[in-house]
Structures are given as structure tokens and as C-alpha cells.
Structure 1
Amino acid sequence: MTAFAWGPALLFCPADRPDRFAKAQERADAVILDLEDAVDPARRPFAREAIVSTAESGLLDPERVIVRVNVAGGDDHSADLAALAATPYRTVMLPKAERPDDLRDLRGLDVIALCETAAGVLAAPQLAAADGVVAVMWGAEDLVASLGGTASRRADGGYRDVAVHARSTVLLAAGAAGVAAVDTVHLAIDDLAGLAAEAEDAAAVGFAATACIHPGQVPTIRAAYRPTEREVADAGDLLAAAAEAGGVFRLHGRMVDGPVIAHARSVLRRAEAAR
């Protein structure tokens, strides 16, 4: 699998709020400067200027900047890419990606393809395997909107079945293509318990990161992706026992074989990344 360049917490920041750029990057593992949904279309020219001028100031670490451009094929998309060319930022997030041809103008850039429509989710395997794609992400709200629906979650806060299916589809597409998967945002900013549960599940099944919309969500995401001391110790013990056993064996009443050993290695990789 392609190595993921950032930590687990990716924070969206409206691109027309340059006063927030540095603080957002300081608080998160990477900042997503958003030229799409977070910006009123009338303010997008200003937002592009803000991205260029901030880049020229050297205020941000380019290696920890992702720019979400507008959808492929429109005037805003072309203008976004023209502005991006004047910066050292080389990672873009493409919203509503639906076919590999949507990436045609992004050659030479690292791309996070955002699968957030019905067509995009169904095309996730092709998008994940496209040249330049380093990660795929899914989005619940635009997906449900593309289906003519009204809510991605049930009254109890859990995702509806179609959202769960889309999440799994994008994760599997990423794994099959050897690229990273990014879990979607948790819109209920004050629901840190719900965010923690979703981020813990994301880490457990193989997502590389979770996107967020508020700096207050970052510590919860980082904690969810960081293995506990007990998990690290258990993984170390298991790998030590595996080195001696040389094959399938029993440890603490549990059968240990190749996949279980791979799980333990993933725990140690996550722990090392957290440090």
C-alpha cells in the first residue's frame, strides 16, 4: 500500500478565511483549504487569491496542505488549478469524482478522489486505481443528495444502510488499489463520543485518516487512531511469540496465524506513526 503522507486528522478550512489557515494547520495533521462547499461562489476569486498570497508568505508547510478544488469540467475548476499552479501545493482533493477522466487536468498532482455521489461510489475501484490518486474518500451528505434522499443518518445517529455500504465500498476500493482511504466528516461538532466511536472503527478496519470540520475534533480523532499501551504491548508479545513459533500457534487461548500477525504489525505501525 502507498504510504500515507499525513497523520489521521485532516482538518477542513474555508479557503476564504486566510486568518485561519496557520492555526488550522497547527492544530491538525494536514489542513484542507476548501475552495468548494465551504466558500460562497461569489467569494471564490478572493479565496484563490488568499491561497496564492499565503503560499508566497511561506506561512504554511506545503507538505501538509491539501487543496479541495471545485468539480471537474467547470470554470471554477480551471480557475482553481490556475491558482494552484502559482503555489508549491501539490495535493488536491477532487470533489464529486465520478470517472477517471475527471482527473485529466490533475496530471502531476497527488489526488484524493472524493467519492460522494452514487456514480462516484460505484466508480470507486476505477478512481482508486487511476494515475496520480494517493487516496480516496467518501462523503455521506452529497451521496444521499445524489440519490434524492434527505438524511444519511437515522434518528439514533447511526448511518443508514446505504451510507454504510458506500463507506465499505470506498474502503475496499482503496485497499484493492493499494492507496489510502479517508473517512468522512462527523457533522455533529459537539458529539465527540459519536466521533470517537466512528474514528475507532475507521482505524480498526483500515482507514488511514478521518476528515474533520472543527479543530476541537482533532484530539478525539488522534486518540482513536492511536493504539493503547495495552494494545501495543500485546502486539509486541504476539510478534515475539510468532518469531519463536515459526507457524500457526496458540496464544492466550487464541489461534494465531498470518492475518492475526499482520494485525499486530498494523498496531505497531499506527503506534509508531502516532509518535
Structure 2
Amino acid sequence: MPSPHPSAHQAAAPFTMGPALLFCPADRPERFGKAADRSDAVILDLEDAVAPADKSRARNAIIGQPDGERLEPARTIVRVNPVGTAEFEADLEALAATPYRTVMLAKAESAAQLPALAGYQVIALCETAAGIVNAAAIAAQPNVVGLMWGAEDLLASLGGLSSRNDDGGYRAVALHSRSAVLLAAKAAGKEAIDSVYVNIPDLDGLAVESQDAVASGFGAKACIHPNQVAVVREAYAPTPEAVEAATELLDAAAAAGTGVFQFKGKMIDGPILKHAEATLRRAGR
């Protein structure tokens, strides 16, 4: 089992899970394997998805997985309770008895909280006003591999009522927070994960939001139901036409041998080529 205590200043490996991350309540071990099979990575949730009276049982469920049923550590994230709570300390004690070394820190609010998770790869979940304001400092911590934002907890921390308008679109403060987390993560060279879409039956709305997440630069999106996984994956998978166009463009750039050139009536420069490279990366090329 890996040691949970390397240097707090040791940089974490890049985050490569995704694009569809699926939450699973940690007190429902009968769902662990199914969640892992249906997603790119599973988030075993010790926080909001588990009632206070069931948290001890949830930790025991993670520890007590039979070897033959234990999830693949490289595709498993454990969401822990906020730093400074007794539940957080109990979560860390339980994690030390497992092979899981990627954690999602609920309600991350400051860089000063991250040394408490030395030895773990951390996805900092910024879902309060303090977390959004301090996102850049949090992202800069060596053991942070990514940032995620949480819409509903954020609005609750502001004393608001809902993150979305009646038409389903995010309110201005939610859009600002989403952008702030994305920019902070990418500025620090870390991954950005888009928030969950809570209207489970509305797969069309999820598709639109997932496509925007891809176009904006989010590397993954969290899901709360298995039916959402395929929609997120489809949004992140480039169409054959997009792959062909990106390949053709990059081939033309290589042939041109210059920084700026014309291609099909358009001026092409560095940023446009980076868009094409990103398309091929999502296609696995």
C-alpha cells in the first residue's frame, strides 16, 4: 500500500481521470462496483451523500471491501468531509487503511487546509464564497491536482435560494464562480472539473452544459446518476468530422512551416492550432 506521508511539498502527478466522474454514496457498498463500471472514475462520497449517523458505517464500507471487489485506485476518488471537523479526522484515519490516494476535499476554503492532506492527490471542491475567492491560492498547492466547483452549496453559503434562473441557466454569481475556478485551475496547470447537473431527467440540458464545459476547457464533469455518464462522454468525444478537420489543419500547419498561414480562406495561428491539438487529445490521438 502506498505511504500516505510523502513530503507536503511534493508535487502531485497530473490528474488523468475523466471525463465522466460519478458520485456514489460511501454507505452503499453494493453500488461501488456498478458505479466504477459505468463511469471513468467513481467518487466514493463520505460527505453530503451520507447522513451523519451513517458516516462511520460508510468509512467501514470503504475499508472493508474484499480484495476481489476493491476498486482500482487509479480510477477512485474519495470525497472527505471539511478540514477542521471531527469527521475529517475520522475520514483520514480510514483512508490510511485503504489503497486510495486521490481525495476530493469538500468545502475547500484556503491554501492552509491542504497540508492536512499531505501525501494525497487532492481535488479541491470550491463551494463556498471563501473557496471561490481563494481558488487561485488553493490551486497553487503542490498536492492539488484539480479544482471543482459546487453550485448549490455555494449559493447556500451566500444565503441565496438557487444557483439557476427559471430558464435553467446559471445565475450571474454562479457563472462568475464557475469561470473563477476554471481560470484558477488552468493558471496553476491543474485540471478543472465542472459541477454536477442536478436535474437528472433533463439529459438534453445536461448535454448542452457538458458541451459548454468541453468548449470552455473543463477536463471533466461530475455526475450524480449513471444515466448522465453517457451524455458527458458523448460531449467530450469529438465527432469523426472534428477529428478529420483537426488532423487536416495540423497537417497543413506542418507543411506551411510558418507561424501564420491561410487555410480554406481563414488566417491560422497558434491558438487555432492549439484548439485542433485539444480535439485530437480528446480523441486519444
Q: TM-score category by the smaller chain?
A: over 0.9
**Aligned-partner Cα distance in 2 for 1:249–1:57:** 56
Seen in structure 2, the aligned counterparts of structure 1 residues 272 and 71 have a Cα distance that, compared at 3 Å, is same
Find the counterpart in structure 1 of residue 200 from structure 2: 189
Cα deviation, residue 59, structure 1? 2.8
Find the counterpart in structure 2 of residue 92 from structure 1: 103
CA contact (8 A) 1:4 1:208 kept: no
Find the counterpart in structure 2 of residue 266 from structure 1: 278
**Aligned-partner Cα distance in 1 for 2:272–2:233:** 24
> Secondary structure in 2 aligned to 1:113?
strand
CA contact (8 A) 1:7 1:29 kept: yes
**Aligned-partner Cα distance in 2 for 1:166–1:74:** 25
Is 1:216 equivalent to 2:227 in the alignment? yes
What amino acid maps onto 1:27 in structure 2? R
Cα deviation, residue 237, structure 1? 0.4
**Aligned-partner Cα distance in 1 for 2:14–2:236:** 16
- Normalised to the residue count of structure 2, the TM-score between the two structures is 0.93
Q: How does 1:138-149 map to 2 (within 5 A)?
A: 138-149=149-160
Cα deviation, residue 198, structure 1? 0.7
Q: Which of residues 186, 211, 225 is equivalent to 1:200?
A: 211
Cα deviation, residue 251, structure 1? 1.3
Percent identity, aligned pairs only, is: 60
> Secondary structure in 2 aligned to 1:54?
coil
CA contact (8 A) 2:19 2:220 kept: yes
Find the counterpart in structure 2 of residue 26 from structure 1: 37
Bigger shift: 55-64 or 120-129?
55-64
What amino acid maps onto 2:270 in structure 1? G
Find the counterpart in structure 1 of residue 76 from structure 2: 65
Seen in structure 2, the aligned counterparts of structure 1 residues 83 and 15 have a Cα distance that, compared at 3 Å, is same
What amino acid maps onto 2:235 in structure 1? A
Per-residue Cα deviation, 1:48-70 (whole angstroms, up to 9, x for no partner):
00000116454311111100000
Q: How does 1:149-160 map to 2 (within 5 A)?
A: 149-160=160-171
Unaligned runs of 5+ in 2: 1-12
> Secondary structure in 1 aligned to 2:238?
coil
CA contact (8 A) 1:55 1:88 kept: no
Cα deviation, residue 3, structure 1? 3.8
- Total equivalences in the alignment: 272
**Aligned-partner Cα distance in 1 for 2:223–2:235:** 13
CA contact (8 A) 2:23 2:43 kept: yes
**Aligned-partner Cα distance in 1 for 2:66–2:183:** 35
Is 1:252 equivalent to 2:269 in the alignment? no
**Aligned-partner Cα distance in 2 for 1:7–1:120:** 23
Q: Which structure: greater helix fraction? A: 1
Ranges of 4+ aligned residues in structure 1 off by more than 4 Å: 55-58
What amino acid maps onto 1:264 in structure 2? A
Seen in structure 2, the aligned counterparts of structure 1 residues 86 and 57 have a Cα distance that, compared at 3 Å, is farther
CA contact (8 A) 1:96 1:114 kept: yes
Is 1:78 equivalent to 2:89 in the alignment? yes
CA contact (8 A) 1:100 1:130 kept: yes
**Aligned-partner Cα distance in 1 for 2:215–2:267:** 19
**Aligned-partner Cα distance in 1 for 2:15–2:238:** 17
Unaligned runs of 5+ in 1: none
Provide the alpha-carbon RMSD of the alignment. Answer: 1.1
Per-residue Cα deviation, 1:201-231 (whole angstroms, up to 9, x for no partner):
1111111100000000000000000011111
Per-residue Cα deviation, 1:98-141 (whole angstroms, up to 9, x for no partner):
10111221000000000000110010000111120000000100
**Aligned-partner Cα distance in 2 for 1:56–1:70:** 25
